[in-house]
Amino acid sequence: MSGDVTEDDTTDEESSPEPTLAARQILGRELENALKQIRRPASGLFVSAIAAGLNVSFGALLMGMALTFSGGFESSFVTRFVLANVSTVGFVIVIIGQTELFTAHTTLGVLPVIDRRASITELGELWGVVLVGNLIGCAVFAGFIAVAGPPLGIVTPAAAGMLADALLPLSWWAILLSGVIAGWLMGLATWLVAAGRDTIGQVVLIWMITGVIGFGPFHHALLGTTELLSAMFRGQGISIAQFVHFLLWTTVGNAVGGTVFVALLNYGQAIKAGEPGDVDVDPESLGKS
């Protein structure tokens, strides 16, 4: 019968790859997730944000350990490559673990506001709770490194100082622009992970994109906070004024990067571009038009 499905047909259907998600489908996923977080009780959001600050700090710990145990790399390229790869661990834990990171919400949290499903006030409350929780988590982890580092020999003061020195001796506008790039990359990571089909694919995407932040190193407000506070707590001459200067311009840059270059642009192209239509091309007609 013409309606019968043969075993070969079934095998072909099962083995055929799933179609790539369209931009509107990704946007729908991101909007749904963002609205859930906006409507989440502040206490739960705050605890999740603290967890994210703690977890993303594993990237800073591993970078410090890499510098400590290496005894010095042969070139600056090798140094940046190694640090970039180990720094991604914290981002993988945070994103796959679905805890709330401020630099993810510079894109995610903005989408419902653009779509008129949430207000600016609700976005401000979300950002405030998440950022404060993240900073607390980072500060606690930096204190943990300062206490556990010396007896375990895992992060020397010199290693902590090297990480901090890569972030500090820059003008405010350089830090701002660097923060824009980091926020842009974080926004792209959250957007692409929403399109991921499986955990392994999502991990690869996170590793590829956030690794660029560590390779720069571009200024990430939370990862950088752990790096600077670790150096401060280990007596590397980091002042409170330097930390505040870093945090202010990096946070602004991260927010601009995630909001303008990911949330606004991706929302616009998802809504305005429309859905691609089905097109059938007969192989026999190739070269004859």
| Half-sphere exposure for 277 (CA within 13 Å, toward CB) | 3
φ and ψ of 220, to 5 deg? -110, 125
Q: What is the model's pLDDT at position 22?
A: 78
Residues of the chain with pLDDT under 70: 1-20, 273-279, 285, 287-289
Give residue 48's Cα distance to chain centre.
15
Please state the length of the chain: 289
**What pLDDT shows up at residue 278?**
62
- Written as one letter, the residue type at 144 is F
Which sign, positive or negative, has the C-alpha torsion 73, 77, 83, 85?
Answer: negative
Radius of gyration of the chain (CA): 22
The tokens describing 282, both together, are: 């007969």
Distance CA 147, CA 143 (A): 6
Close Cβ partners of 43 (under 8 Å, ≥ 6 residues apart): none
Residue that is written with structure tokens 């510098």 in the block: 67
Q: Which residues contact 237 (CB under 8 A, 6 or more apart)?
A: 161
In the chain, DSSP finds a helix count (H) and a strand count (E) of 14, 0
- Pairwise CA distance, residues 192 & 53, whole Å: 22
The pLDDT, as a whole number, for residue 275 is 61
Residue type, 242: Q
Q: Which tokens is 267 given? A: 């929302």
Would you call the peptide bond into 150 cis, given omega within 30 degrees of 0 as the criterion?
no
The secondary structure of 93-159 as a DSSP string is HHHHHT---HHHHHHHTTHHHHTTSS-HHHHHHHHHHHHHHHHHHHHHHHHHHHHHHHHHTSS-HHH
pTM: predicted TM-score of the whole model, two decimal places: 0.88
Residue-level pLDDT at 289 = 56
Q: Which amino acid is at 26?
A: I
CA distances from 277 to 171, 269, 274 (A): 49, 16, 9
Question: What does the angle CA 169 – CA 49 – CA 44 come to, to the nearest 5 degrees?
Answer: 165
Q: Over the stretch 13-45, which tens digit does the pLDDT of each residue have? A: 444 445 557 788 899 999 999 999 999 999 999
